[in-house]
Each structure stands twice: as C-alpha cells, then as structure tokens.
Amino acid sequence: MYSTEIPVSNIGENKLKELLRELLSRYALTDDEVTELYISIPFKKKKKYFDVIRCQNDVGEKPAISYMASASSISITATLVERPR
C-alpha cells in the first residue's frame, strides 16, 4: 500500500504514533468513524478503534524499535533503525 523512509531524527514517538493512526484510519475506518475521532463531546468517551503498540527487537539483532497497529484485516508497521553515518 504505502512505504516511506523517515529519518529517526525527524519524527518523535508521539508524532509517529499519530501518523500510524492516521494512515490506518484511512484504510480501515469509514468516514463517519474517522469523524468521530476528531469530534469532542463533553463527558463522552471517545471510541478507540485501535492502539499503537511498541515492540523492541530480539537480542542479537541490530537495535530497532517497531510500532504496530491493526484494525480488521489491515495492519501497519513502522520500524525505527539507526543508520550508520
């Protein structure tokens, strides 16, 4: 579907999670469900359609942190890796 590289120094953890939620919502949610994510109604809990989960690599591999989110049959993964200079 979509692939890009973003240098680790150009995006923080919160912005990365926000980006994953936004991308996943485009493919997995209806227009009404996406709208519900942005509407603020006092004393009403927002629906949570999906979570972004942080995972770390196995021991012995290059240091990497992955973020995953899924809804219905669609999943999104972002992996942060340090590139040699």
Q: Which candidate, 85, 83, 78, places its Cα nearest to that of 12?
A: 78
Q: Domain limits of the chain?
A: 8-81
Higher confidence at residue 4 or residue 81? 4
59 pLDDT more than 60: no
In this prediction, residue 11 has a pLDDT band, given cuts at 50, 70 and 90, of confident
Joined together, the tokens standing for residue 48 give: 């949570």
Residue 83: which residues within 8 A CB-CB, separation 6 or more? Answer: 7
Is the pLDDT higher at 83 or at 27?
Answer: 27
CA proximity to 55, closest of 84, 85, 17:
17
20 and 80 in contact (C-beta within 8 Å)? no
Confidence of residue 60 (pLDDT cuts 50, 70, 90): low
Average pLDDT score over residue span 30-52: 82
Question: What is the pTM (predicted TM-score) of this model?
Answer: 0.69
